[in-house]
Structure 1
Amino acid sequence: MNKAYNRELIDQGKKVARELGMGGMVHEGTYTCLGGPNFETVAELRMLKMLGADAVGMSTVHEVITARHCDMTVLAFSLITNICITDYECHDKPNHEEVMDVGKMRQDTLKLFVKKLVEYIAQHNPQ
């Protein structure tokens, strides 16, 4: 699938993030997915890194593919909640509680971003 995400909406999302002082928190990259529900293995993460992946999740890619097959215009963004471990010698391991804590810590920021983005899109993309 090519051009799954709408460039105009991506640019609008970045503009809103900059206006809210969140520009440094927003990154564009290659998002990939693995099945779940589980955290990725070191081997999977190393493979994805070699292939150029910047972030990994479980459902967004499938949702985007479905939306595009329905001819929907798509913008996707993700809140990155954990750093993936790619070292077999590291004794740290993914922790669901920490992932949830990061989500809670960023919920107000994410709410504000979504609210302002929807308002911006409504003003600049009348149907």
Structure 2
Amino acid sequence: MPTREEIAEAREALRVRFLVLAPRRVAALQDALRAAAEDEAARRELQRQGHQLRGTAATVGLLDLGLLGGVIERAAASSPFSSEEQARASAAVALADEYVSLACSHRAVGPLADDPRFRALVTGSQ
């Protein structure tokens, strides 16, 4: 049975690996978002990617980023993809991009929960 330290080390290694791949994931979200307004399959792909971001980010301890994935997933779940839901998904993707850019440049990244844009997206208030 692994020790707590081994589990913590493995989780940190997964978090680092996730952040290495995160810029590609954000680029894929941006591509899917651009196509989702016109294409039902792209909207479903955006929903799937949001779901995947939600689960994976939360698993590696990036809970705020996981919550943004949930915002993207829920926004893309609406069919038709309304302009209001497109705006929510777009804002969540932009904030995820900002967070990932900061984290990948090794700058200190504080909790997103302190950002009013994040709170508005997650709570649904604008």
Shared fold (TM-score greater than 0.5)?
Answer: no
Normalised by the length of structure 1, the TM-score is 0.28
Greater percentage in strand: 1
Normalised by the length of structure 2, the TM-score is 0.28
Greater percentage in helix: 2
Larger radius of gyration: 1
